[in-house]
Chain A
Amino acid sequence: MSGATDLWLLMFACGAATYLWRGLGVLLSGRLNPQSALFEWISCVAYALVAGLIARIIVAPSGLLAQTALIDRLLACAIALMAYRLARANMFVGLVCGVMSFIAAGYVRGAIQ
């Protein structure tokens, strides 16, 4: 089997594994209490996993982002968050400011070197 076929199979397996929760929700609705301690734990695990994913991509990325400076990525995050808050939870303002500051930081870095 080629690597590409493996990746397609893995992707569909991941789709099925994601669907599991959606399908279970349909089948079990009315029989499970979404406010129970078990659900609190499940949502904590999911939340922590996604937080871990983003932390890892920002601090120790692979691919293109690995060629950029850690301090630039952290700075872009801080600026995006600040702009988002200042613009009253406007995601676009946050994203545009974050990306632009990241590009600017990369430009200045390139100009100095």
Chain B
Amino acid sequence: MKPDRRRALRAGAREALGVPAAVLGAGFLGYGSLAADAGYSVWLTLAATFAIWALPGQLVLMEMQAGGAAVAATILAVSLSAARFLPMTLTLMPLMRNGSRGRRLWQFLLAAQLVSMTTWAVAMRRFADMDVESRWHYFLGFSAVCIGSAAIFAVIGQLLLGALPPLARFGLALLTPLYFFVTLVGEAQSRTSIAALVCGAAAALALHAIAPGWSLLGAGFIGGTAAWLLQRAHVRRH
């Protein structure tokens, strides 16, 4: 490997080793403990982390499977929870692809599996002052550390749960829901995202009483569409 490529790879890995890996680690520590509680084997926890690589989707799967939801509804809900990946890869991939020499489509298709909210946000910020070759290696280095950290912490969470006293066990189980609560509510700034949060939560809780197996899909479609319509009505008025 050429030195500048290695440098880009290492720069990505180093950047991920700080806050990104630690924050992801906290989310996946809780995920591992919930997985242990749901009766997952360590292998299933690891495989789900690599195969889905989207914590919300992994939680949707766990929740709906535990609640005995229909298979089709579960797959659809997991997929919809990850719909944000489409605009993310749409904006990220051209930055690594346009003007790259010798790299093939299948390599970009493989790299797409590594895209996550964290990698996307950091890459979009850092790519501005990098050439196409460096971006590719930076992205690989950054993603590898993120996935590695997630996998390690998920296993720790899984093994830790059984070893802790009951009160600490409850704390560990609350970690991931808390992480998402703080992320969602703490970072919702636009009117649309606040509307989607409120509508989604309200729809899920209302539907949970009637049809628990469909409440998350309903929350997405009903809550999301309501938020979208509210936003459009607001834009039209101004």
Contact = CB atoms under 8 A, between A and B. Distances in A.
Contact of B224 (A18, A45, A63, A106): A45
A65 B170 contact: yes
A69 to B, nearest CB: 10
Contacts of A52: 200-201, 203-205, 215-216, 218-220, 223
Q: Say which size band chain A's interface belongs to.
A: 35 or more
Interface in A1-38: 4, 7-8, 10-15, 17-26, 28-30, 32, 34, 37
B60 interface: yes
A25 B179 contact: no
A65 B174 contact: yes
A71 B232 CA distance: 36
B152 interface: no
B160 interface: no
Nearest to B89: A25
B59 A57 contact: yes
Contact of A80 (B82, B90, B178, B224): B178
Nearest to B199: A48
Q: Secondary structure of the A side of the interface? A: helix
A91 B48 contact: no
A54 B61 CA distance: 13
Q: Secondary structure of the B side of the interface? A: helix
Nearest to B220: A49
Contacts of A61: 177
A18 B205 CA distance: 25
Contacts of B90: 25, 28-29, 32, 34
Contact of B87 (A39, A48, A50, A81): A39
Nearest to B50: A15
Contacts of B66: 62-63
A38 B170 CA distance: 40
Contacts of B196: 44, 47-48, 51
A10 B109 contact: no
Interface stretch (B73-81, B131-139, B142-150): B73-81
B16 interface: no
Nearest to A85: B186
B81 A53 contact: yes
A4 B41 CA distance: 9
Nearest to B185: A81
Nearest to B177: A57
Given A41-B228, A56-B216, A76-B178, A24 B184 contact: no
B174 A63 contact: no
B224 A48 contact: yes
A46 to B, nearest CB: 4
16 contacts: A4-B41, A17-B82, A18-B78, A19-B112, A19-B113, A25-B92, A29-B94, A32-B90, A40-B228, A45-B83, A52-B220, A54-B184, A63-B173, A65-B174, A77-B181, A102-B171
Given A24-B89, A51-B184, A52-B203, 5 more contacts: A14-B75, A51-B219, A67-B170, A76-B178, A98-B182
Interface of A: 4, 7-8, 10-15, 17-26, 28-30, 32, 34, 37, 39-65, 67-68, 73, 76-77, 80-81, 84-85, 89, 91-92, 94-95, 98-100, 102-103, 106-107, 110
